[in-house]
Structure 1
Amino acid sequence: MTAPLPVAGTTHVRRTAGSDIAVEKTAFAGILALNALAAAAGLVGPWLLGSIINTVKASTGPDSVGTVDRLALVIVAAVLVQIVLSRYALLLAARFGERAAARIRERFVARALALPPTVVEHTPTGDLAVRGTTDVDGVATALRTTAPEVFIATMQALFIIGAVLVLNPLLGVCGLSCLVVIVVVTRWYLRRARAGYLAEGTANSELAEMLATTAGGARTVEALRLQEQRLHVAEAAITKARGARLHTLWLRSVFFPSVDISYTLPVVGVLLVGGALYNHGAVDLGEVVAAAVYLRQLMGPLDTVLLSVEQLQSSMASYARVEGLAAVPAGPTPTTAEPSGDRIEAVAVTYAYPNLGDVLHGIDLDVQPGERLAVVGPSGAGKSTLGRLLAGIDRPGSGRISVGGVPIADLPPDRMRRQIALITQEHHVFRDTLRNNLVIARPSATDAQLLAALEAVHATWIDDLPSGLDTDLSGAAHRLDEPQAQQLSLARVILADPHTVILDEATALLDPAAARMTERALAAALDGRTVIAIAHRLQTAHDADRIAVIESGVLTELGTHDALVAADGGYAALWRSWHGD
């Protein structure tokens, strides 16, 4: 069973954003100062334009021409100063955004790596993948580009509004009152946008999860002829994602046209009211023109702010999803106790997945150091669940599983990895060299040890690689197929050198002959270690010291191969079926 990761609340996102800004208070203060100076320089032009108009209107001699020329030169100088200040403000803001985005990426990766194993195990792959790519990129874009632009535009808008009110309070109030439509439409949009973008992000995660699971299980889908069923699942996920996307598009289709129409209202209002006041001698022509130019100039920063609202809403939703990892409950504090030996003991163990009944019922199992135990049973009996519990990935609902008297799930991660390794059908080949894909299991390993580990699992394909251990596996030319990738995973186990190895269908992707050969090689390589093998191939069970039979979550039989065959119970039936008797 899987469950999506949590989403951070608005308060947490705002607090975190404030902390990201506070890290670089000096840079942020510099951004505000440069923006303020640039906005102040931008006010000079319209103000002096009104003075030019009044000068020309009242012209009585040649001195007025010189006055106009001087004022025009000051306007040009002010524009140049505004351009330079705005450029450096934007440059400083972009650098600030890049550093903040880098911190958010690093924080996300650190939190993802620190997630408790049980959370990772039950989190949809698509959910974590979308948060780490699309959502992190959205936040980075907002910090790098959108937020600086909004800062600059907001400063300009505030200075322009102040200038209009100082120029003529009556004209200023008249023009600003016409902006009420923008305020109403923006509030309508903001009340709906966050929920809409969160729903879109969730739908995209579910779609990514569906695509990943369908592609990963393509062979199973084809073998069981589940194409139609998967198509229906895909259509449902696509329909949901499309609906969520159309909803946010509808919000924008209402918001942007309404804003575009509203831009002209302040200028029209000032010209109408200003014209009437001018006819009555209440204002001069220069004030009317300057106020109209200011309000026309206000459209630029307002347009930037309002166009960025959509991006900011989407980015805040992404920010909430990225910060949602902080809301994942931390696992229990690891114990400092050291296991007194390597004996694994399960006592009265039960386990249930969310919204389902118990999968395991009162499992009692005692695995001695160096023993080879095979766990067999029908599909869905709970074998893999027991394997995860024995590896410490999940905690039992009740009962206990311990190694050397210490609960396995309470061991620190590095201590647990030295004690127990779980190898499943799932494996990963990093986009790196073969050497680096191996040394993650043992950073100090020599080339001889790496080659010996590959030889132990019969990975003869290394002889065909052009650069041996230094061959890059990221390109299509040398990409490993499924059986080769599985052998690579098994080689990592040998290098990690744990005391106990749990193999959950670890050779399932190999053909029978190759699987048998690999299992024999592993048996030799893991000599002296405890091996718990969960397998459908009963030949593996035949070679084990003991066999545990799980049926419907219950341990029904436990003993050697010969003893269980002689008992003529469930295992004997499986053995006869395996041999076609």
Structure 2
Amino acid sequence: MIGVQPPAYDPASGEHATTLPVAGRATVRGYVRELMRRHRRPFLVLVAVNTVAVIASMVGPYLLGRVVQDLADGERELQLGRTVLLFSVALAVQAFFVRMVRLRGAVLGERMLADLREDFLVRAVGLPPGVLERAGTGDLLARINTDVDRLSKAMREAVPQMAIAVVWAGLLLAGIVLTAPPLGLGVLLAAPVLLLACLWYFRRAPAGYRSEAAGYASVAAALAETVDAGRTIEAHRLQAERVALSDLRVKQWTSWERYTLWLRSVLIPAINVYHAMILCGVLLIGGSFVLQGWLSVGRLTTGALLAQMMVEPVGMILRWMDELQVAQVSLARLVGVREVEDDAGDASVVPEGRDLAAETVRFGYLADTDVLHDVSLRVPPGTRMALVGPSGAGKSTLGRLLAGIYAPRRGEVTLGGAELARMTAERVREQVALVNQEHHVFVGPLRDNLLLARTDATDAELWAALAAVDADEWARTLPGGLDCEVGSGAVSVSPAQAQQIALARLVLADPHTLVLDEATSLLDPRAARHLERSLGRVLEGRTVIAIAHRLHTAHDADVIAVVEDGRISELGSHDELVAAGGAYAALWRSWHG
């Protein structure tokens, strides 16, 4: 069978492939089995209720077949009253149980969808932060939004309806065989047409839908990056390049859309041919058997009606199988987070002390490109160290390695002699905390936003944490104080206030080592200076590694590390580095004018 060929470029592969994997068949099947085990009882009830509904729907053809047979036999008293009564009762039973089938199917689908969303969220939140950062905004948004939306219809309708249709078709086929076994030949004669069409379609559809979904993720990634970096694009006059990239991504995505549409345009006519062949086969075979006297006309009537009824469940199966092809790809992308290596760490690895050190560390985000080159650094307990240097030098990357967010490619980062990469995430967070420029205020009470850091904190401790970062004054003016709803759709807080909330969480978490990645960048210089002085009192005795472009932070530090091109070029106190007349001295003179 020839026709439209799949596009040559597969957006699911190549340099734009996401670092989050797409689950293999074994993982997807395992997850589906797990879902079915969780909802075994509702599923069995759905099958039982559907069985009653289908059996009730088969009463009509049997009654009509009996009437036709009575007429053929010359019966004068057809007992139509009893036939109509039985048919009415069967119709009422069918209507009642069909309603129950739809209701229970919808409830089952919603519960399974809720489980899927919760499982994905729990697993995604548990992934290492570095994995999520490298995955990119576009891929994450596509999985959380588009893939979940595509699965919504499958979970709510396709899975329950497939179960209903399979039971329906099986019972109808059994009814045909029991009524008149020869009529089963009509179904068998048409089966090769449907089988060949389905084999052809399902051999091509999974790859097509998978590439279509990946193509959409590429479009989303390109658009998200363009919007996020809008000012930079304008400053460097990159509008034409970004438009060209977006056009390319859209073209690749739509080419896969056309391909999958063509696949369906071949399958659907084949299904129509199959339905026509079933009915024709039953009538031709049954008619010849009736003429030979091998089959009664009543049984032929019943068999023909049951064969005609086969059209709907078979159509449902194939229609929902097509929907499930799309859903399977989305499910594989969502379940793919389970295939991320779960580096849970070793619970037996416990730091013996608070010394933080990096030994000949090399690290890069890409396989063949290092951002940090043989960096060695020692931070004694209680030291205040500042990392300074030009943008892109590797300051934030080094800070994330020291905070245990990333693991080095070579070398090791240790805390108290124990490798951070081998510790459990919970133990690392108890010891070391990272606060960067990015912050988030969750919709809900201010109290809940603070309790994220320590769930057992009292109101007095929450107010003390706010006071430590100079946030208690404006927090007390909020309607309801700690109970005030903040965030999107509630009382809005300024970027500076949101940053203060993030720093208050840090005070509550109370780790002994802190990595502040431009943590006061959204405050004006005077407010930032005041806040850092307040934090200085709170953080007394703790190890603090501050990454900042504002050199007053470096001025107050015990030790300054100058990072250039992924290496530490200078190390010393403010006075020592100014006297040395190197890179830091040049930065200091430039900052002071």
TM over 0.5: yes
Question: Could you say if the C-alpha distance between residues 151 and 388 of structure 1 is closer, same or farther in structure 2, counting changes exceeding 3 Å?
Answer: same
Supply the distance in 2 between the matched residues of 1:473 and 1:223 (Cα, whole angstroms). Answer: 35
Supply the distance in 1 between the matched residues of 2:504 and 2:234 (Cα, whole angstroms). Answer: 30
The residue number in structure 1 matching 2:359 is 347
For structure 2, which runs of at least 5 residues remain unmatched after alignment? 1-15
1:166 to 2:181 alignment: no
Question: Could you say if the C-alpha distance between residues 461 and 224 of structure 1 is closer, same or farther in structure 2, counting changes exceeding 3 Å?
Answer: farther
- Report the alpha carbon displacement of residue 361 of structure 1 after superposing the two structures with TM: 1.8
**Residue by residue, what CA displacement relative to the aligned partner does 1:204-257 show, whole Å, maximum 9, x if unpaired?**
333333444444444544555544444334333333333333333333333234
The residue number in structure 2 matching 1:530 is 543
Instruction: Report if the CA contact (8 A) 1:2-1:124 is conserved.
Output: no
The residue number in structure 2 matching 1:14 is 29
1:69 to 2:81 alignment: yes
**Larger mean Cα displacement after TM superposition, 304-313 or 271-280:** 271-280
The residue number in structure 2 matching 1:46 is 61
The residue number in structure 2 matching 1:256 is 268
Instruction: Report if the CA contact (8 A) 2:139-2:218 is conserved.
Output: yes
Supply the distance in 1 between the matched residues of 2:245 and 2:525 (Cα, whole angstroms). Answer: 33
The residue number in structure 1 matching 2:399 is 387
Question: Could you say if the C-alpha distance between residues 491 and 206 of structure 1 is closer, same or farther in structure 2, counting changes exceeding 3 Å?
Answer: farther
Partner of residue 142 from structure 1, selected from 131, 147, 154: 154
For structure 1, which runs of at least 5 residues remain unmatched after alignment? none
**Larger mean Cα displacement after TM superposition, 365-374 or 512-521:** 512-521
**Residue by residue, what CA displacement relative to the aligned partner does 1:442-485 show, whole Å, maximum 9, x if unpaired?**
22333343334334434454355333332222344623343332
Instruction: Report if the CA contact (8 A) 2:185-2:282 is conserved.
Output: no
The residue number in structure 1 matching 2:257 is 245
Partner of residue 92 from structure 2, selected from 80, 94, 99: 80
Question: Could you say if the C-alpha distance between residues 510 and 206 of structure 1 is closer, same or farther in structure 2, counting changes exceeding 3 Å?
Answer: farther
1:437 to 2:452 alignment: no
Instruction: Report if the CA contact (8 A) 1:45-1:75 is conserved.
Output: yes
The residue number in structure 2 matching 1:312 is 324
The residue number in structure 2 matching 1:334 is 346
Supply the distance in 1 between the matched residues of 2:109 and 2:310 (Cα, whole angstroms). Answer: 25
5 Å matches for 1:366-515? 366-459=378-471, 461-462=474-475, 465-476=478-489, 478-515=491-528
Instruction: Report if the CA contact (8 A) 2:134-2:365 is conserved.
Output: no
**Larger mean Cα displacement after TM superposition, 39-48 or 153-162:** 39-48
5 Å matches for 1:359-370? 359-370=371-382
Instruction: Report if the CA contact (8 A) 2:435-2:515 is conserved.
Output: yes
Question: Could you say if the C-alpha distance between residues 25 and 453 of structure 1 is closer, same or farther in structure 2, counting changes exceeding 3 Å?
Answer: closer
1:574 to 2:593 alignment: no
**Equivalent residue pairs, number:** 577
The residue number in structure 1 matching 2:12 is none
Supply the distance in 1 between the matched residues of 2:483 and 2:344 (Cα, whole angstroms). Answer: 40
1:546 to 2:546 alignment: no
**Larger mean Cα displacement after TM superposition, 221-230 or 195-204:** 221-230
Supply the distance in 2 between the matched residues of 1:251 and 1:210 (Cα, whole angstroms). Answer: 28
The residue number in structure 1 matching 2:6 is none
- Report the alpha carbon displacement of residue 149 of structure 1 after superposing the two structures with TM: 1.4
The residue number in structure 2 matching 1:295 is 307
5 Å matches for 1:170-249? 170-249=182-261
Supply the distance in 2 between the matched residues of 1:93 and 1:477 (Cα, whole angstroms). Answer: 37
- Report the alpha carbon displacement of residue 388 of structure 1 after superposing the two structures with TM: 0.7
* SS of residue in 2 equivalent to 1:363: strand
* SS of residue in 2 equivalent to 1:329: coil
Question: Could you say if the C-alpha distance between residues 266 and 337 of structure 1 is closer, same or farther in structure 2, counting changes exceeding 3 Å?
Answer: closer
Supply the distance in 2 between the matched residues of 1:65 and 1:4 (Cα, whole angstroms). Answer: 72
- Report the alpha carbon displacement of residue 346 of structure 1 after superposing the two structures with TM: 1.7
- Report the alpha carbon displacement of residue 359 of structure 1 after superposing the two structures with TM: 1.8
- Report the alpha carbon displacement of residue 567 of structure 1 after superposing the two structures with TM: 1.1
**Residue by residue, what CA displacement relative to the aligned partner does 1:36-62 show, whole Å, maximum 9, x if unpaired?**
33333332221221220121233353x
AA partner of residue 74 (structure 2): S
5 Å matches for 1:112-131? 112-131=124-143
Supply the distance in 2 between the matched residues of 1:339 and 1:533 (Cα, whole angstroms). Answer: 22
**Larger mean Cα displacement after TM superposition, 325-334 or 445-454:** 445-454
**Residue by residue, what CA displacement relative to the aligned partner does 1:124-158 show, whole Å, maximum 9, x if unpaired?**
23333433444345445434422221112111111
**Larger mean Cα displacement after TM superposition, 509-518 or 569-578:** 509-518
* SS of residue in 2 equivalent to 1:330: coil
Supply the distance in 2 between the matched residues of 1:483 and 1:235 (Cα, whole angstroms). Answer: 38
Q: TM-score, normalised by structure 2?
A: 0.89
* SS of residue in 2 equivalent to 1:358: coil
- Report the alpha carbon displacement of residue 163 of structure 1 after superposing the two structures with TM: 2.1
- Report the alpha carbon displacement of residue 78 of structure 1 after superposing the two structures with TM: 2.6
AA partner of residue 104 (structure 1): L
- Report the alpha carbon displacement of residue 328 of structure 1 after superposing the two structures with TM: 1.1
AA partner of residue 15 (structure 1): G
AA partner of residue 518 (structure 1): L
The residue number in structure 2 matching 1:555 is 568
Partner of residue 157 from structure 1, selected from 169, 174, 180: 169
Supply the distance in 2 between the matched residues of 1:556 and 1:88 (Cα, whole angstroms). Answer: 73
Deviating above 6 A after TM superposition, structure 1's stretches of 4 or more consecutive aligned residues are none
Supply the distance in 2 between the matched residues of 1:448 and 1:226 (Cα, whole angstroms). Answer: 52
* SS of residue in 1 equivalent to 2:371: strand
- Report the alpha carbon displacement of residue 430 of structure 1 after superposing the two structures with TM: 0.9
**Larger mean Cα displacement after TM superposition, 3-12 or 206-215:** 206-215
* SS of residue in 2 equivalent to 1:392: coil
**Residue by residue, what CA displacement relative to the aligned partner does 1:187-209 show, whole Å, maximum 9, x if unpaired?**
22211222222223323333333
Instruction: Report if the CA contact (8 A) 1:125-1:209 is conserved.
Output: yes
Identical-residue share of aligned pairs (%): 44
Question: Could you say if the C-alpha distance between residues 223 and 430 of structure 1 is closer, same or farther in structure 2, counting changes exceeding 3 Å?
Answer: farther
Instruction: Report if the CA contact (8 A) 1:43-1:159 is conserved.
Output: no
- Report the alpha carbon displacement of residue 571 of structure 1 after superposing the two structures with TM: 1.4
- Report the alpha carbon displacement of residue 299 of structure 1 after superposing the two structures with TM: 1.1
- Report the alpha carbon displacement of residue 276 of structure 1 after superposing the two structures with TM: 5.0
* SS of residue in 2 equivalent to 1:370: coil
Question: Could you say if the C-alpha distance between residues 216 and 524 of structure 1 is closer, same or farther in structure 2, counting changes exceeding 3 Å?
Answer: farther
**Larger mean Cα displacement after TM superposition, 89-98 or 185-194:** 89-98
* SS of residue in 2 equivalent to 1:178: helix
- Report the alpha carbon displacement of residue 543 of structure 1 after superposing the two structures with TM: 1.8
Question: Could you say if the C-alpha distance between residues 539 and 301 of structure 1 is closer, same or farther in structure 2, counting changes exceeding 3 Å?
Answer: same
Q: TM-score, normalised by structure 1?
A: 0.91
Question: Could you say if the C-alpha distance between residues 571 and 228 of structure 1 is closer, same or farther in structure 2, counting changes exceeding 3 Å?
Answer: same
Partner of residue 43 from structure 2, selected from 1, 4, 28: 28
5 Å matches for 1:258-273? 258-273=270-285
- Report the alpha carbon displacement of residue 406 of structure 1 after superposing the two structures with TM: 1.7
**Residue by residue, what CA displacement relative to the aligned partner does 1:469-519 show, whole Å, maximum 9, x if unpaired?**
322223446233433322222222122222111111222233333333333
Question: Could you say if the C-alpha distance between residues 495 and 236 of structure 1 is closer, same or farther in structure 2, counting changes exceeding 3 Å?
Answer: farther
